[in-house]
Amino acid sequence: MTEEPIRVLFLCTGNSCRSQMAEALLRQRGGERFDVHSAGCIPSGVHPLTIQALAEMGIDAESQCSKHWNVYLHEPPFDYVITVCDYAAQICPTFPGEGRRLHWSFEDPVAVPGSEPERMRAFCRVRDQIGERIQQFVDTITSR
């Protein structure tokens, strides 16, 4: 008998960076053990530096798109709903049948001022922080 994948939804404000990174990284590191999605309260499109930062790790995120979280309100229940920005954590709706709700606070690299290389460093820094948290999450879940 095949075990059902663990359903995870990552939420942030714009669904342009942090939640997109978390989705892509968990998909890569967790494989078929996870059914991963992301969304935001004010979807603003996937930021080009998000796609570039993920590409540097060999992850193709070109097909990912920004979605409003209301598209998931009537989906099958999620095992984990994880907010990755403080604003989303404050206003996140309750999802029917919601499993564990977690909050992982990360800096918003979209808000970092500076030159393109400075901004890219911010995206890569946040990507790496999210990657560490994702790896801890995967290790914890798979060791059960």
- Between 16-30, 32-46, 85-99, 128-142, the lowest mean confidence (pLDDT) is in 85-99
Contact 75, 110 (CB under 8 A): no
Q: Is residue 133 in a domain?
A: yes
Report yes or no on 144 lying in a domain: no
Inside any domain, residue 76: yes
- Indicate whether 1 pLDDT > 60: no
19 within a domain of the structure (yes/no)? yes
Q: What percent of the chain has pLDDT over 70?
A: 94
pTM across the whole model: 0.93
Tokens found for residue 88: 């989303």
E strand intervals along 32-104: 34-40, 80-83, 100-103
Active site residues: 12, 85, 92
Residue 1 in domain: no
Number of separate domains in the chain = 1
pLDDT value of residue 2: 61
Domain assignment of residue 143, yes or no: no
| pLDDT, tens digit, 9 for 90 and up, residues 72-125 | 988 888 999 999 988 877 777 676 666 898 999 999 999 999 999 999 999 999
Parallel, antiparallel or unpaired: strands 100-103 and 34-40:
unpaired
Pairwise CA distance, residues 120 & 125, whole Å: 9
Residue 128 in this model has a pLDDT that exceeds 60? yes
pLDDT score recorded for residue 96 = 64
Compute the 3-state secondary structure of the chain and give helix, strand, coil in percent, each to the nearest 5. Answer: 45, 15, 40
Domain of residue 119: give its range: 6-138
- Over residues 29-42, the pLDDT tens digits come to 999 999 999 999 99
pLDDT, averaged across the chain: 91
**Residue 132 resides in a domain:** yes
Q: What are phi and psi of 30, to 5 degrees?
A: -95, -20
The answer to the question of residue 40 being in a domain is yes
Please, which residues have CB within 8 angstroms of residue 58's CB and are 6 or more apart in sequence? none
Q: Give the CATH number of the domain where residue 113 resides.
A: 3.40.50.2300
Going by their DSSP bridges, the two strands 100-103 and 6-12 should be labelled as unpaired
Amino acid at 49: L
**What is the mean predicted confidence (pLDDT) over 52-62?**
96
